[in-house]
Structure 1
Amino acid sequence: MAHVITRPCCNDGSCVEVCPVNCIHPTPDEDDFLTAEMLYIDPATCIDCGACIDECPVSAIYPDDQLDACDEPFLQINADYYRDHDVDGGLAHPARTPRLPEDRALSVAVIGAGPAAFYAAGELTKRPQISVDMYDRLPTPYGLVRAGVAPDHAKTKGVEGTFAAAERRANFTYHLNVDVGTHITHDELAARYGAILYAVGAPHDRHLDIPGEELPGSFPATEFVAWYNGHPAYADRVFALTGDRAVVVGNGNVALDVARILVEDEAILATTDIADHALAALRDSSIREVVVLGRRGIEHAAFTNSEFLSLGDLDGVDIVIEPEELALSEAARAALDDGSLDSTIATKIRLAREFSTRPRHDENKRIIFRFLTAPLEIMGDGEVTSLRCLRNAYTASGAAAPTSETFDIDTSVVVRSVGYRGRPIPGIPFDPERNVVPSKDSRVTDGPGGPVVPGLYVAGWIRRGPTGGIGRNRMCGEQAAAAIIADFADDVLPVPELDAGDVADLVASRGAQRVDLAGWRRIDAAERAAGRAQGRRRAKFVSVEALLAASAESGAAG
C-alpha cells in the first residue's frame, strides 16, 4: 500500500522531514520545490509507515485504500510526477545553527501575521535568547490563511495549528489591531528592537488597463475574496451579482476560487466559515454561468492541477471546455507526443481534455474555460453589460500573439484576477519596478543592489512578489529567521536605545485598542462557539467593533 497526497497540500514540507525513505518530492533542496504545485509521494518507494500522515498540518495525506472517490485521481497525479522525476534528490538537511551568545538577548519585531511571518517567528522563538513581538493592523492573525484561503477549503486552513504552536511560546507577544505607521512608526520600532522583519504581503490588485475597468460590476478578485472571507475592511462592500453570467479574467487558483464560490451550492457554503453577508448575497445571486479567461493556452494555465481537478466534484455544476480551446504550441504538442513534456503540464492537459468530453446538463450551472483569449474593453453605459475580447494564437516561437478575431461576451459582472502587488512601506526602501522591498538573502538593501540596512529584514510576497503559496512562504520565512539568527550570532545587529516594554502604552496613547494573545483566544473561542451552534467551522465576526467586543474580558460578541 502507498500513501497519496491530495488537494489540500500546502507544500510546507513537514512531511518531507519525517519520511524515512525519501519518497516525498520535491524536497526543499530541489530546484522545483519553489514552483511545485504540490508535493508528491512515489508509490514505488513508499513503505506505508504513516509518519507523513501524522505530520501533515492540513490532513492532505491518505493511504491509497482509504481515498474518497473524489480523491482517487490523485493516485495518478502522484504517480505521474515520477514519470520525469526521481527520488535521488535527497532530503533537505537543515544548516547548522550558529552558536548564539548566552550573555545577550534579542528582541525582534515581526510586522505581519501571515504564513511567512509565522514560519519566521516559529524558528526564532525556538531560541530562548530571542523574543518576538508580532504586529498586525487587524485584530486577528493568520493573514491570507484567514482572509484569502477559500472558505470551502477548510483543510488548508488547518495550517493555523502550526501557527498556534508558535503563538503559545512564552517569548512570543501579539500586538494585534496595531497599525505600524499610524500607532507606531518604523523609527520607533527601530529604537526598541534589534531586528525588524516585514512580512506584510502584497495586498493590492493589479489592473487590466483596459477601457471600462472602473464601471460598476467590474471589480478585483482581491476585494471579492476579502469580502466573502469576512475581512473587516471589505465587509460593507456590496457586489451586485445580477444577470446570469460572470466573467473572471485570469486563470490562477484565485480565479478558480472565485468561479467556484459564484456557482457552488449554497447549502455547502453554509457549512463553511464564509461571511454571513456573503452567504446571503450568494443565495440571492442569479449567476448561473462563469466564464474563466486565460490569455495563453492550457499549457500555460496558472491554476494548479489539484484545484482544477476539484472543480469536477461540484454538484450541479458542469465544467465546460470546448476541444478547440485546447490548442497547444508546436513545442508542447511535440513534447506531449514523444513523452518529454513536463509531467505537471501533461497532467493539466490530460485533465482539460477529460473535462472537454464530459456530458453536460441543461439544468446545471456552468464554469466555462476560454483559453488564448485577452480582454480588450469592458462595455456598458453606467454598468457592465459585456466584455469585448481578442483571440490569441500560438506563433512558431511558442508566444501567444493577437489575431484579428474579436468577440463579445454578454455579462453583468467582470472580476479581474490577474495578480497582487506590493505597496511602499513608510520609512523602508522600495523597488517600484518590481513592487517589492529590495533585499539580499532576506536582508533589506538600500535600493536594488544597494548596501544592506543593518537589522532590517523582509519575507513573503513583499520580498519576492506575489508568487507561491504556504510552502514557498514557509521557506521564505525560515530563510529570514536564519538571516536574523546569523546576524545576531555575528554581533552585527544594532543595539536598541529603548526597551519594547512600553509599546502597549505607546500605541494605546495613539488610539490603538491592542489585542493580545488572550484577546485573540477569546475571539477564536467565540467564533468557534458561534460556528458550532450553526454546524459550521466558525462564524466570523466581520467588523472591528465586534472583534474587539469578543476580545474583551467581559465583552459580548455580536
Structure 2
Amino acid sequence: MSGHKLLSSRLKLWTSGGSGWMSRLCEGMSECGRAPFSSCSPKICVVGSGPAGFYTAQHLIKARQDVEVDIYERLPVPFGLVRFGVAPDHPEVKNVINTFTQTANHTRCNFYGNVNVGTDVSLDELRRAYHAIVLSYGAEGNRSMGVPGENLPGVYSAKDFVGWYNGLPSCGELTPDLSCDTAVILGQGNVALDVARILLAPIDMLKNTDITQPALDALAQSQVRRVLIVGRRGPLQIAGTIKELREMVNLPDCRPEMVAEDFKGIPEALKDVPRPRKRLTELMLKTALETPSEKEQARRDKASRSWGFRFFRSPVEVLASGGRAAGVRLAINRLEGAGDGAHAVLTGEVEDVTCGLIISSIGYRSLPIGQSVPFDSHKAVIPNSMGRVQQAAGVKAVTFSDWEKIDNVETRRGEVIGKPREKLLTVQEMLQVARS
C-alpha cells in the first residue's frame, strides 16, 4: 500500500491534490514490507517537520529524481523549532522557512499536519507503506535537575518558557510569575542566553517581533531586573556563542555583573584555545575585567537592569517560601581536567541565591514514539547504528496549503500591529483557519 493510499484509507485524509548517505538509507529497505528501491520509486516517510525533517526531505528530493517524501507533523503547523524555538528577536534565523516552503511545495513532497504518529497512525502501518521511515520528531521532554523543590511554582524549563513566548500550543497556559526582582537561569547555552535577553530586553525591542501578545503583555509588566546565568563549569566551557554573548553585552538599559575571581587564570589559558572559543572568552574577559570607556561606564551607570554569569555552581535544592520558589542553593565546584573535557567536582561548599524565578536550561530528553520502536529510557534515545534503528480513524491532516492559510492569517494579524506575524495560539484556532 502506498503512503498516500494508507492516509486515505486509515486516516480519511482531506488532501489537496549525498549519494553515500542515500545509499545507507536505501540499504535493506525491502525489510519494511516494500520492494527494494531498484525495482520501484522509493517512498520515504519523515516524522517531524522541524529543520531536521525538512532538510532530510530536501536532500532526498535532490538525491533522486523519482523519490517521493511524505512529512508527518503532530501539530497543524510546520517548521518545529524554527517557529517555536528561535527567539522572536532573531527573525533572520527564521528565513530558512522560505527554503522549507519550496521543499513542501515540491511536486514530490507532501505535508500532513495534525497527524500524531504513534497515536493516529502506528509505526507498523507506516513501515508497511514506505520503503524507509526517518524519525526526526525531536526531543519533547524536559531533562530533570534531580533536586528537591524543582517542581515548585516559579520553576520552569527553558523549553516550556521559550514555548510560552513563541506560541507553542502546549505552553499556552504557562503564565509565568514575573513579579520578582531576580531570576536565575541554570545552564549557559544559547537557549539560556535567549531567555535572559527576552527577560531583560526593552519592550520596544520586542513589540515589532512575532512574540505572542500574551507574552509581550506579561513582559511589559515584568518586575525582573536582574538575571544570573549559572553554569557548573568555567568560562572556557560555556556552550553559548559569541553572537548571543555580544547581544547580552550590548543590551540597552542593562549592565553586566560579573565576578572577577571566576576568571582567575583564564587569560593565561587562552593561548591553547581554538579561535572561536578564544574570541568568545576574550569578550567575556573584556566585559568582566577591563575598565570600560567613559561612554560605556555612563551607559552602565544609567542602566536599570543587570545580568551576569555565575561559574562553578550546580543546583542542589530549590528553596521555598509560602509554597513557591524563593531561592536556589548552589554547590560550589572546582574543575578537574582542561578544555571541553574538564568536569566539575563538588567542594562541599554551598551558597544560597535569593530569587523568585528559576529557569532550567540544561537540555531536553527524547520521548518514545511507539511500542514498535525500541527506546533506551536511561539515555533517552532510540538505539541505532549509524542512524539506522535496530529493530486512528477520523483524523483530518493539515496539508501545506492549509498551513499557508494559517500563515496568511497570522501575517495579516501582525501587519495590523506592526509585527511580522501574530501567531494563533491554540490547535483549535489553527485547525479552524486551516479548514476554512
TM-score (norm 1): 0.67
- The aligned residue for residue 91 of structure 2 is 154
- The aligned residue for residue 71 of structure 1 is none
Decide which of 366, 374, 398 is 1:422's aligned counterpart: 366
Q: Which digits, 9 at most, give the CA deviation of each residue in 1:452-495, with x for residues without a partner? A: xxxxxxxxxxxxxxxxxxxxxxxxxxxxxxxxxxxxxxxxxxxx
Q: Does 1:380 align with 2:316?
A: no
Runs (5+) with no aligned partner, structure 2: 1-17, 27-35
Q: Distance in 2 between matches of 1:188 and 1:275?
A: 37
- The aligned residue for residue 42 of structure 2 is 106
Are the structure 2 counterparts of residues 103 and 208 from structure 1 closer, same or farther at C-alpha, using a change threshold of 3 Å?
Answer: closer
> Of Structure 1 and Structure 2, which has the larger fraction of its residues in helix?
2
Are the structure 2 counterparts of residues 155 and 288 from structure 1 closer, same or farther at C-alpha, using a change threshold of 3 Å?
Answer: same
- The aligned residue for residue 405 of structure 1 is 349
Q: Does 1:265 align with 2:265?
A: no
Q: Distance in 2 between matches of 1:103 and 1:432?
A: 38
Q: Which digits, 9 at most, give the CA deviation of each residue in 1:82-116, with x for residues without a partner? A: xxxxxxxxxxx975977996751122111100111
Q: Distance in 2 between matches of 1:267 and 1:546?
A: 28
- The aligned residue for residue 119 of structure 1 is 55
- The aligned residue for residue 548 of structure 1 is 431
Decide which of 97, 108, 111 is 1:171's aligned counterpart: 108
- The aligned residue for residue 128 of structure 2 is 191
Q: Does 1:282 align with 2:219?
A: yes
Are the structure 2 counterparts of residues 395 and 236 from structure 1 closer, same or farther at C-alpha, using a change threshold of 3 Å?
Answer: closer
Decide which of 389, 396, 401 is 1:518's aligned counterpart: 401
SS at match of 1:213: coil
How far is the alpha carbon of 1:327 from its aligned partner?
3.3
- In the alignment, residue 349 of structure 2 is paired with which amino acid? E
Q: Distance in 2 between matches of 1:354 and 1:213?
A: 35
- The aligned residue for residue 444 of structure 1 is 389
Q: Distance in 2 between matches of 1:225 and 1:131?
A: 34
Are the structure 2 counterparts of residues 97 and 226 from structure 1 closer, same or farther at C-alpha, using a change threshold of 3 Å?
Answer: closer
Q: Distance in 1 between matches of 2:37 and 2:116?
A: 32
Q: Distance in 2 between matches of 1:188 and 1:401?
A: 49
Q: Does 1:345 align with 2:277?
A: yes
**Is 375-384 or 339-348 further displaced after alignment?**
339-348
Are the structure 2 counterparts of residues 101 and 302 from structure 1 closer, same or farther at C-alpha, using a change threshold of 3 Å?
Answer: closer
Q: Which digits, 9 at most, give the CA deviation of each residue in 1:231-257, with x for residues without a partner? A: 111112221111111000111111111
- RCO higher in structure (CA 8 A, sep ≥6): 2
RMSD: 2.1
CA contact (8 A) 2:47 2:135 kept: yes
Q: Distance in 2 between matches of 1:279 and 1:199?
A: 31
Are the structure 2 counterparts of residues 377 and 142 from structure 1 closer, same or farther at C-alpha, using a change threshold of 3 Å?
Answer: same
Q: Distance in 1 between matches of 2:275 and 2:22?
A: 37
Runs (5+) with no aligned partner, structure 1: 1-92, 447-506
CA contact (8 A) 1:321 1:352 kept: no
Q: Which digits, 9 at most, give the CA deviation of each residue in 1:11-48, with x for residues without a partner? A: xxxxxxxxxxxxxxxxxxxxxxxxxxxxxxxxxxxxxx
- The aligned residue for residue 310 of structure 2 is 370
Q: Distance in 2 between matches of 1:174 and 1:303?
A: 33
Q: Distance in 1 between matches of 2:100 and 2:398?
A: 17
- The aligned residue for residue 333 of structure 2 is 392
Q: Distance in 2 between matches of 1:133 and 1:341?
A: 44
CA contact (8 A) 1:221 1:258 kept: yes
Q: Distance in 1 between matches of 2:403 and 2:94?
A: 17
Q: Which digits, 9 at most, give the CA deviation of each residue in 1:363-409, with x for residues without a partner? A: 42111111111112111130111111122223477543222432211
